[in-house]
Structure 1
Amino acid sequence: MGDFLIETVGEAVAEVILSLLACTLLGCLALIAYLSWSFSPRLTIAGAGLLSLFLAHGAWQTFGTPAKGRRRGLTALTAASFTLVGLTALFLLLYATGCNCL
């Protein structure tokens, strides 16, 4: 009985910590978007376009036909960035949906 209680409380605390982290991350992303739009809407749109191209190249390298040899330089960077953004989006989808901040 004691092990079950410790495990249940541990899971509840971990869930609260992950939800708090997701809400903080979502708030920081919203703040960055707000501040950049306040500074320069045109630059924000241009930056979003460049970031989209960068991530599209990473997706193409990740899911496209495998090239011979190792990935180097920009190709490895875009593929790793695409993977990181995808994992962050999945994390936010799972844990930030219940943060009631919107």
Structure 2
Amino acid sequence: MGVRRAAKGVGDFLSETVGDAVAEVILSLLACALLGCLALIAYLSWFFSPRLTIAGVGLLSLFLAHGAWRTFRTPAKRRRRGFAVLTTGGFTLIAMTALFLLLYATGCDCL
């Protein structure tokens, strides 16, 4: 009985280890592809119109700054509505994407 339990434990350990390794490779490839797409978008945007690229980055910065301000300021007694919900959600999405890229794309040697 002890041998069967030990063999089952070793098999479970190997299965979990291989699953973790495969998940890590998939997440790294996904992060590398996302980083490549972001770089391609920036390159194509600058190629077609540098002025519009700078204007778009400025508007995106204002959008994210408003979202960060609404996220981290002391909450008011009233609820968030309209544009504040949009900017807060956008800021949260960008922050989570940046965290994902920081964790998984740091070892990306494709660029």
Answer whether TM exceeds 0.5 for this pair: yes
Unpaired runs of 5+ in structure 1? none
Q: How does 1:77-88 map to 2 (within 5 A)?
A: 77-88=86-97
Note the alpha carbon deviations across 1:26-85, whole angstroms, 9 max, x for none.
000000000000000010000000000000000000001212222111000000100110
* Map of 2:71 onto structure 1: 62
**Alignment pair present for 1:16 and 2:25:** yes
C-alpha RMSD of the superposition: 0.7
Bigger CA radius of gyration = 2
* Map of 1:3 onto structure 2: 12
* Map of 1:93 onto structure 2: 102
Aligned partners of 2:58, 2:110: CA distance in 1, in Å?
27
Unpaired runs of 5+ in structure 2? 1-9
**Alignment pair present for 1:51 and 2:60:** yes
What is the letter of the counterpart of residue 56 of structure 2? G
How many residues align? The count is 102
Aligned partners of 1:70, 1:21: CA distance in 2, in Å?
36
